[in-house]
Amino acid sequence: MKKRVLVTGGAGFLGSHLCARLLNQECEVLCVDNFFTGMRRNIEPLLGEPAFEVMRHDVTFPLYVEVDEIYNLACPASPIHYQRDPIQTTKTSVLGAINMLGLAKRLRVRILQASTSEVYGDPDVHPQTENYCGMVNMIGPRACYDEGKRCTETLFYDYRRQHRLDVRVARIFNTYGPNMHPQDGRVVSNFIVQALKGDPITIFGSGTQTRSFCYVDDLIDGLTRLMNLPHDVEGPINVGNPAEMSMRELGELIISLTGSHSRLEFRPLPQDDPRQRRPDISRARQLLHWTPKVSLEEGLKKTISYFDALLANSREAEKLVWRFTQ
> Under a CB-based contact definition with an 8 Å cutoff, are residues 213 and 292 in contact?
no
Q: Where are the alpha helices (DSSP H) in the chain?
A: 13-24, 40-43, 79-82, 86-107, 143-163, 187-197, 216-228, 247-258, 282-288, 296-325
Q: Count CB neighbours of 320 within 10 A.
A: 10
Q: How far is the CB of 60 from ligand UDP (least distance, A)?
A: 10
| 179 sits near ligand UDP (criterion: CB under 6 A) | no
Distance CA 93, CA 59 (A): 9
> Under a CB-based contact definition with an 8 Å cutoff, are residues 137 and 143 in contact?
yes
Q: What is the phi/psi pair of residue 139, to 5°?
A: -125, 10
Q: How far is the CB of 16 from ligand NAD (least distance, A)?
A: 8
**Residue 145 a catalytic site member:** yes
Residue of 175, 190, 241, 260 that binds ligand NAD (CB under 6 A): 175
| 74 sits near ligand NAD (criterion: CB under 6 A) | yes
Interface characters, 38-67, with ligand NAD (x: CB under 6 A): x-------------------xxx-------
Q: Which residue, 196, 209, 141, is CA-closest to 315?
A: 196
| 274 sits near ligand NAD (criterion: CB under 6 A) | no
Question: Which of ligand NAD, ligand UDP, none does 11 bind, CB closer than 5 to 8 A by kind?
Answer: ligand NAD
Applying CB under 6 A, the span of 14-22, 202-210, 222-230, 298-306 interacting with ligand UDP comes to 202-210
Q: How far is the CB of 273 from ligand UDP (least distance, A)?
A: 5
Residue of 20, 27, 28, 33 that binds ligand NAD (CB under 6 A): 33
Nearer to ligand NAD, 140 or 182 (CB): 182
Q: Return the percent helix, strand and coil in the chain, to nearest 5.
A: 45, 20, 40
Sheet with strand 110-116: strands edge to edge: 52-56, 28-33, 4-8, 69-72, 110-116, 167-172, 237-239
Marked catalytic residue, from 71, 82, 145, 215: 145
> Under a CB-based contact definition with an 8 Å cutoff, are residues 140 and 270 in contact?
no
| 37 sits near ligand NAD (criterion: CB under 6 A) | yes
Residue of 41, 106, 161, 319 that binds ligand UDP (CB under 6 A): 106
| 63 sits near ligand UDP (criterion: CB under 6 A) | yes
Residue of 92, 194, 258, 276 that binds ligand NAD (CB under 6 A): 92
| 62 sits near ligand UDP (criterion: CB under 6 A) | yes
Nearer to ligand NAD, 28 or 58 (CB): 58
Residues in contact with ligand UDP, total (CB under 6 A)? 23
Distance CA 136, CA 254 (A): 30
> Under a CB-based contact definition with an 8 Å cutoff, are residues 1 and 66 in contact?
no
| 77 sits near ligand NAD (criterion: CB under 6 A) | yes
> Under a CB-based contact definition with an 8 Å cutoff, are residues 27 and 37 in contact?
no
Nearer to ligand UDP, 145 or 290 (CB): 145
Distance CA 214, CA 280 (A): 13
Residue of 186, 224, 288, 299 that binds ligand UDP (CB under 6 A): 186
Distance CA 303, CA 290 (A): 22
For ligand NAD, the binding residues (CB under 6 A) are 8-9, 11-15, 33-38, 58-60, 73-77, 92, 96, 114, 116, 172, 174-175
**Which amino acids are annotated catalytic?**
145
